[in-house]
């Protein structure tokens, strides 16, 4: 329930019920008998969103050397065209004159190098890294089809749930896949260009931007969606943010913000 005052009949008459009272559009919260996982998720979400107008820019990194070669995954550097794109991105942002813009990147070189061309401070997030392609890392799709024909067919049948063999078993946050370019869309008060999902409390003690977490590797879109929860929560409560990330990550983020289902 959402109310404008803490002086509500609910407080005295319905203390046995589970409820969340939002007072003055998030100035205060009254939480009563919140006990299960879903209820806790709702509380975290409500405590971390704000209603102020802000823009979210989701941009894919510039073209990498592996993009040129048609290889997926890896940690290659930007190509000459990728560096040119990064400089063009800087010009675009300077023309926009976006106040207090924060820049987030993954911990992969192609994402970091794109942000470095902007000549502004940026934060690295390990959980923005690409899907891990396991034994298929740094291979072309043609090579995968030739070397692992069964895996190629399985992935083609269900890309959302398919996990590349090799690497670590999925847990909740980590690494690498394949790439392209960028663009910009608008929705309500936000500006986008990418993909994601879910929520997390601002009180979280762990610094999810660093690689100090003992977290395992995601090898499917389903794993990636779970991993991106903290990023989505932060984007919901931050001001203007530019996220320089990767193809699969952008797909998930865009799916979240445009209310798309897993099948879409």
Residues noted as catalytic: 61, 146
Six-digit token string for 69? 């070669």
- Name the one residue in this structure whose structure tokens are 């193809």: 247
110 marked as binding residue: yes
Distances (CA, A) of 41 to 32, 74, 84, 230: 14, 34, 42, 12
**Annotated binding residue at 67?**
yes
Alpha-carbon distance of 41 to 45, in angstroms, equals: 6
Count CA atoms within 13 Å of residue 49 on its CB side.
12
Q: Centre a 10 Å sphere on the Cβ of residue 145 and count the other Cβ atoms it contains.
A: 15
Q: Is 236 annotated among the ligand-binding residues? A: no
The DSSP-derived string for 47-79 is HH---S---EEEEEPPPBHHHHHTB-SS-PPB-
Sequence-distant (≥ 6) Cβ neighbours of residue 46 within 8 angstroms = 20, 22, 26, 29
Is 212 known to sit in a ligand binding site?
no
Task: Please indicate if the annotation marks 175 as binding a ligand.
Answer: no
Residue 26 burial (C-beta neighbours within 10 Å; 0-12, 13-18, 19+): middle
Q: Would you say 246 is a known binding-site residue?
A: no
Q: How many residues does the chain have?
A: 264
Can you tell me the distance from the alpha carbon of 196 to that of 37, in angstroms, rounded to the nearest whole number? 20
Q: Is 62 annotated as a binding residue?
A: yes
Q: Which positions make up the binding site for substrate?
A: 60-67, 110
Instruction: Show binding-site residues.
Output: 60-67, 110
């Amino acid at each position: 329930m959402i109310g404008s005052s803490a002086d509500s009949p609910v407080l005295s008459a319905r203390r046995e019920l589970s409820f969340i009272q939002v007072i003055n559009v998030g100035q205060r919260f009254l939480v009563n008998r919140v006990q299960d996982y879903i209820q806790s998720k709702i509380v975290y979400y409500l405590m971390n969103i704000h209603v102020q107008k802000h823009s979210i820019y989701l941009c894919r990194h510039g073209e990498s050397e592996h993009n040129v070669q048609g290889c997926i995954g890896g940690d290659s550097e930007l190509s000459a065209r990728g560096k040119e794109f990064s400089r063009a991105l800087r010009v675009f942002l300077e023309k926009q004159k976006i106040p207090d813009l924060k820049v987030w990147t993954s911990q992969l070189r192609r994402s970091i190098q794109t942000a470095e061309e902007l000549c502004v401070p940026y934060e690295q997030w390990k959980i923005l890294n690409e899907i891990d392609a396991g034994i298929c890392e740094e291979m072309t799709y043609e090579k995968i089809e030739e070397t692992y024909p069964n895996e190629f067919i399985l992935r083609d049948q269900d890309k959302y749930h398919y996990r590349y063999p090799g690497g670590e078993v999925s847990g909740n946050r980590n690494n690498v896949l394949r790439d392209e370019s960028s663009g910009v869309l608008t929705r309500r008060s936000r500006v986008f260009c990418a993909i994601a999902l879910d929520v997390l409390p601002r009180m979280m003690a762990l610094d999810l931007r660093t690689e100090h977490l003992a977290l395992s590797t995601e090898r499917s879109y389903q794993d990636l969606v779970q991993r991106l929860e903290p990023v989505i929560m932060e984007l919901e409560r931050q001001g203007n943010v530019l996220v320089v990330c990767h193809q699969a990550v952008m797909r998930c983020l865009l799916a979240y913000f445009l209310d798309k289902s897993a099948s879409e």
